[in-house]
Amino acid sequence: MPEFSHINNDRAYMVDVTEKDDVHRLARAEGRIHLRPETLEAIRSGEVIKGNVLATARIAAILAVKQTSSLIPMCHPLPVGGVDVDFHDGDGFISAEVAVRTYGRTGVEMEALTGVSVALLTIWDMVKSAEKDEDGQYPETSIEGICVTEKRKS
Amino acid sequence: MPEFSHINNDRAYMVDVTEKDDVHRLARAEGRIHLRPETLEAIRSGEVIKGNVLATARIAAILAVKQTSSLIPMCHPLPVGGVDVDFHDGDGFISAEVAVRTYGRTGVEMEALTGVSVALLTIWDMVKSAEKDEDGQYPETSIEGICVTEKRKS
Amino acid sequence: MPEFSHINNDRAYMVDVTEKDDVHRLARAEGRIHLRPETLEAIRSGEVIKGNVLATARIAAILAVKQTSSLIPMCHPLPVGGVDVDFHDGDGFISAEVAVRTYGRTGVEMEALTGVSVALLTIWDMVKSAEKDEDGQYPETSIEGICVTEKRKS
Amino acid sequence: MPEFSHINNDRAYMVDVTEKDDVHRLARAEGRIHLRPETLEAIRSGEVIKGNVLATARIAAILAVKQTSSLIPMCHPLPVGGVDVDFHDGDGFISAEVAVRTYGRTGVEMEALTGVSVALLTIWDMVKSAEKDEDGQYPETSIEGICVTEKRKS
Amino acid sequence: MPEFSHINNDRAYMVDVTEKDDVHRLARAEGRIHLRPETLEAIRSGEVIKGNVLATARIAAILAVKQTSSLIPMCHPLPVGGVDVDFHDGDGFISAEVAVRTYGRTGVEMEALTGVSVALLTIWDMVKSAEKDEDGQYPETSIEGICVTEKRKS
Amino acid sequence: MPEFSHINNDRAYMVDVTEKDDVHRLARAEGRIHLRPETLEAIRSGEVIKGNVLATARIAAILAVKQTSSLIPMCHPLPVGGVDVDFHDGDGFISAEVAVRTYGRTGVEMEALTGVSVALLTIWDMVKSAEKDEDGQYPETSIEGICVTEKRKS
């Protein structure tokens, strides 16, 4: 039977981590947003558009990493030590990668995943006028493949 | 050339919506989290686990919907009028659906998408001890298919 | 059977208020914190202590009223229009009264109750060094009688 | 004369705790909300209602514990290490108990008290349609007995 | 005797604005940060540095505008309708200008002033390694001239 | 060429501080708000006005110090250990001084500067009805001289 460390007896709780050791920890997560070819082309060819879309998404992601324990109920507040957000231009999508470092008592994978999610949501918001069809719908836009690519302590 | 309403001249800005009309608006978004079969089975068969995982995710999502304009830089603050969060048990995944209603000047698709993202991240957090392999990695967990399924005014 | 408007089918949700009317609304709540006689005497006789304890509690309460919908999951965000926080010196306690006004779609009693709660918690924090016994416990301090004293629309 | 550690010279300030030791700390607080017999009976007999009311209150309380230093002006930010929220069914009321653990420089009683307060406020919000009389008032609802039941370091 | 609308009888309060009219409102504020010549030269000549410093400051300012009523105790929450942040290269300084638009019951000059302040603080943070002297002090850095340049309704 | 520690390769990032030492740190910042003579006179001669204006500004500043890492994107979250906010009555202005202490991995000058900025903005808000001219403009009000006066570790 799998273990659910945030559930005890009959209820959810925030597990006590005060006995765990402060160690250096790193987590890396990634994900991608699929966009219309015209939108991707505009981002690729236009420095102004690209710069503004990705800078906005990067800063939103860094701020969101620091807010993770306010968003995810059982997540422990942690002294985030460093955050790096990078974007890549893929075939039909833009991918985001977020690395989070801390010196603390629990892992930072939820922080990295939250950063990736907010980076991709912000890209969506920044390009939404380009992605909507004539009925105001988003037939081609989607967020895919959010996963943890690395997690370690040292 | 696609339009980017959050970029003007050479910079990002929060577009002025004060001339738009207050109307009834609805947006619906969905997405899914892929989990190990053992985790899904434990959620399916255990009322306590299921109740706690999904209740925590639902409440996190509702609170996140109300925080959208603090997370997404160019998003307008809106008087969120109603939020409903539902979960479905799929083949290899749990899906989340979030509907947001408002009476306001801009659409609420970013709110619905933020709600879905935080619902799925919270499920991840609630089951993370069950999803980790012996090296502390998440080889099977991923968030997929976050999209807007409906958007309308009336 | 009583009605539970925040529960629908099998789940909690934020009820849709977009069809309700914007009207002027007022709610008034109160509560009291019971303190040691020596603490109350110090507050009564010392202008500096009294001024700082109550000013800090008042401002914390006003800020908390504006944060109510981030603290109470199913609470609707509302354009708070006015807040007044008053304190009275009782027999063995200090009482706080908070009045909240809005022009909006739902009542503001949760805002007033949140304001009273945070006002009283802040008084506790401001006097905690005076209320602790030699073992660091609070044998005499308690918060009592938080209730809604008036609620109306016009 | 009692000591007021948050007041110095003529003004409120946030006392410097950087010279204090990081130690394991626990605080436990409790309180109760008095409700109509019909509301209590509906919560007792209805699994759906009970589950949703208490799960919502529990998660709100855990999130509020982590926000304590944003709500209470002179409260120090602390790396909250664990939170457990429990409810009991009393004679005419529901009681909430919150335990907070940390490894840090100051006690966590304000965190536990904030958690209890928000748990009880959230119960109020979840049952408010059942507690209101025909004039929209709350003649029987009140929050009572919020106190610290245990505080220790180790 | 000047009027102090946030003080009534003997205490601060949040004045009731529910009787005021919803109208279109604009406020514009500006300010400047004085920096070392070498820092200004690096920003002027380096696209990467300039782009990142100013994009970060712009997004921080837009988010801060939306948080004004959580930072300034007596400030009313307002549906911010549009925000534009611009920077100019001056003689020994960078200036920031923030314009805020709303359709609401009170003016938005505090929002514009908060946006300018956070824009300039963020520039300081982004260039602080370049501004510090060998003792880690900031002998040449200062923020000056924060003022409201325009305020109107229509 | 000056160093910009928050920019790496082509992008802004939050520099990793996990390898730095936890030490005692202090930062002190100050600034001033220039006001009309009538406003300054009313503050000087009226205990009620002075008390309320400065108490509100002080508490807003202390809360803002604790929110610095949510406002300034690349700023590290830090366990703020103590905050003291003082005001002085100058010739044509009120000055604010904020001292912040921590035991942590990075300096707290951004926290002290944020505290000063929010203290001065709150004074502006508290006296704005007295500072406005008949056209609702602020011809004489401005914030000047925000700087770091001391920064040290021990």
Q: How many CB atoms lie within 10 A of CB A19?
A: 11
* B19 annotated as ligand-binding: no
Task: Give D72's pLDDT tier (boundaries 50, 70, 90).
Answer: very high
Mean pLDDT (whole number) for B110-120: 98
B:45-104 residues touching chain C, CB 8 A cutoff? 55, 58-59, 62-63, 66-67, 79-86, 101-103
Per-residue pLDDT, averaged over E14-26, amounts to 93
Residue D82 has pLDDT above 90, yes or no: yes
Going by C-alpha positions, the residue among A133, C68, E63, A121 that lies closest to residue B115 is A121
CB atoms within 10 A of CB D15: 18
Compute CA distances A22 → A17, A103, D54, D103, F18, whole Å: 10, 6, 34, 11, 11
Residue B116: pLDDT band (50, 70, 90) is very high
Contacts of A111 (CB under 8 A, 6+ apart): A27, A65, A68, A78, A80, A100, A102
> Can you give the pLDDT at residue D32?
98
Query: D98 phi and psi, to 5 degrees?
Result: -125, 130
- Considering only CB atoms, C81 lies closest to which of E11, E12, E17, namely E17
In terms of Cα–Cα distance, which of E97, E80, E64 is closest to E25?
E80
Q: What is the phi/psi pair of residue A13, to 5°?
A: -155, 165
The pLDDT profile of chain C, 154 residues, written as one tens digit per residue, is 688 999 987 899 999 999 998 899 999 999 999 999 999 999 988 878 888 999 999 999 999 999 999 999 999 999 999 999 999 999 999 999 999 999 989 999 999 999 999 999 999 999 999 999 999 999 999 999 999 999 999 8
Do residues D100 and D82 make contact, with C-beta atoms less than 8 angstroms apart?
yes
Q: Does any domain span residue B8?
A: no
Residue D85 lies in a domain: yes
Residue B45: partners with Cβ closer than 8 Å, 6 or more residues away: none
**Judging by beta carbons within 10 Å of its beta carbon (0-12, 13-18, 19+), is residue B75 exposed, middle or buried?**
buried
**Beta carbons within 10 angstroms of residue E45's beta carbon:** 10
d(CA E38, CA B8): 30
B109 is in an annotated binding site: no
User: In Å, how far from its chain's centre is CA A97?
Assistant: 8
Q: Domain containing F53 — which CATH number? A: 3.30.70.640
The angle, 0 to 180 degrees and rounded to 10, between the axes of the packed helices F47-71 and A47-71 is 110
pLDDT at A21: 87
ipTM of the complex: 0.97
Please indicate, yes or no, if residue F16 is contained in any of the structural domains: no
Question: Nearest chain F Cα to E136, which residue?
Answer: F151
In a domain, F4, yes or no: no
**Could A148 and B136 be called an inter-chain contact, meaning their C-beta atoms sit closer than 8 Å?**
no
F21 touches chain A (CB under 8 A): no
Parallel, antiparallel or unpaired: strands B93-104 and D80-89? unpaired
pLDDT at E137 over 80: yes
**What are the distances in angstroms from CA D30 to CA C70, D76, D89, D98?**
22, 21, 13, 6
SS3 readout for D18-37: CCCCCEEEEEEEEEEEECCH
Residue B51 and residue B46: Cα distance in Å, rounded?
A: 8
Summarize pLDDT for F108-133 with one digit per residue, the tens: 999 999 999 999 999 999 999 999 99
User: Which contiguous run of DSSP H or E holds residue C145?
Assistant: strand C142-153
* CB-CB neighbors (< 8 A) of A101 in chain F: 16, 18
* Contacts A119 to B, Cβ<8 Å: none
Q: Do C81 and E105 touch (CB under 8 A)?
A: yes
**pLDDT number for residue D123:** 97
Number of structural domains (chain B) is 1
Residue E48 burial (CB count, 10 A): 14
Predicted local confidence at residue D47, as pLDDT: 79
The tokens for F37 are 């003579």
Q: How far apart are CA C107 and CA C25, in angstroms?
A: 6
% of chain B exceeding 90 in pLDDT: 86
* Interchain CB distance below 8 Å, E12 and F56: yes
Residue A26's pLDDT is: 97
F149 touches C: beta carbon within 8 Å: no
Summary mean pLDDT of chain E: 95
Strand partners for F101 = F26, F82
Mean pLDDT of chain B: 95
Residue at E8 is within a domain: no
The annotation places the binding site of A for substrate at: 74-76, 110-111
The residues with which D12 forms a beta bridge, in sequence order, are D7
Task: Give the integer Cα–Cα distance in Å for C143 and C87.
Answer: 14
Half-sphere exposure for B81 (CA within 13 Å, toward CB): 22
CA-to-CA dists, residue E81 to B104, E101, E108, angstroms: 11, 5, 10
For position F3, what pLDDT does the model report?
85
Mean pLDDT of chain D: 95
E57–chain F nearest CA distance, Å = 8
Residue C5 is classified by DSSP as: T
Confidence tier at D46 by pLDDT (50, 70, 90): confident
Rounded to the nearest angstrom, the minimum Cα separation between B92 and chain A is 15
Query: In E, which residues are within 8 Å of C58 by CB distance?
Result: 11-12
Task: Note whether residue B95 is domain-resident.
Answer: yes
DSSP structure string for chain A: ----TTEETTEE-B---TTS--EEEEEEEEEEEE--HHHHHHHHH-HHHHHHHHHHHHHHHHHHHHHHHHHSTTPPP--EEEEEEEEEE-SSEEEEEEEEEEEESS--HHHHHHHHHHHHHHHHHHTHHHH--TTS--SS-EEEEEEEEEEEE-
Q: Name the residue with tokens 């990081």.
A: D22
Instruction: State the CB neighbour count (10 A cutoff) for residue B131.
Output: 20
The reply to whether D14 falls in a domain is: no
Is B31 a residue whose pLDDT tops 90? yes
Query: Which residues contact residue D105 at a Cβ distance below 8 angstroms, ignoring those fewer than 6 apart?
Result: D17, D18, D20, D21, D22, D76, D78, F79, F81, F103
How far is E122 from E62, CA to CA, in rounded Å?
Answer: 12
Residue type, D36: R
Does position E1 have pLDDT exceeding 90, yes or no?
A: no
CA distance E94 to E57: 12
- Please, what sign has the CA dihedral across residues A123, A124, A125, A127? positive
What is the structure's pLDDT at B2? 84
Q: Using the 8-state DSSP alphabet, how is residue C74 labeled?
A: T
Partner-chain contact A73 B56, CB within 8 Å: yes
Quick one: how many helices (H) and strands (E) in chain C? 3, 6
Residue C66 CA to residue C46 CA, distance in Å, equals 31
At residue A99, the pLDDT reads: 98
- CA distances, D17 to each of C99, C123, D107, D114, F153 (Å): 35, 20, 11, 21, 16
Which one of the listed residues D16, D125, D133, D135 is annotated catalytic? D125
Q: Is the pLDDT of residue E36 over 80?
A: yes
> Which 3 state secondary structure label does DSSP give F53?
helix
What is the SS3 assignment for F89-138?
Answer: ECCCEEEEEEEEEEEECCCCHHHHHHHHHHHHHHHHHHHHHHHCCCCCCC
In this prediction, residue A103 carries a pLDDT of 92
Chain F interface, best mutation among E23, E113, E131, E151, by max F CB count within 10 A = E113
Interface check for E115 against chain C (CB to CB < 8 A): the answer is no
pLDDT category of residue B151 using cuts at 50, 70 and 90:
very high
- Per residue in F143-154, pLDDT (tens digit) is 999 999 999 998
- How far is C-alpha E37 from the geometric centre of its chain's CA atoms? 23
Confidence at residue D3, expressed as pLDDT on a 0 to 100 scale: 85
Is D63 within a domain? yes
Non-local CB neighbours of F26 within 8 Å, separated by 6+ positions: F99, F100, F101, F108, F150, F151, F152, F153, F154
**Cβ-defined contact of F129 to E67 (cutoff 8 Å):** no
The one catalytic residue in E22, E125, E133, E135 is E125
Average pLDDT over every residue of B129-135: 95
Supply the pLDDT for residue C125.
97
Instruction: Report the C-alpha gap between F15 and D69 in whole angstroms.
Output: 25
Q: How confident is the model at residue A131 (pLDDT cuts 50, 70, 90)?
A: very high
- What is the DSSP-derived secondary structure letter of residue E77? P
| Residue in E24, E67, E103 closest to B70 by CB | E67
Residue D136 has pLDDT above 90, yes or no: yes
Band (pLDDT 50/70/90 cuts) for residue F48 is: confident
Strand partners, D5: none
**Confidence band of E89 (pLDDT split at 50, 70, 90):** very high
Nearest by CB to residue A66, choosing from F16, F17, F70, is: F70
- Parent domain of E113: 27-153
What are the strands, taking DSSP E only, across D71-130? 80-89, 93-104
CA separation for the pair A84, F68 (Å, rounded): 19
Name the percent of chain E lying above pLDDT 70.
99
Residues near C54 by Cβ (< 8 Å), separated by ≥ 6? C87, C123
Give the range among A71-75, B59-63, F9-13 with minimum mean pLDDT.
F9-13
Give the mean pLDDT of B92-103: 97
- Give me the pLDDT at residue B145, please: 98
Cα nearest neighbour of B62 on chain D = D56
pLDDT tens profile F96-105? 999 999 998 9
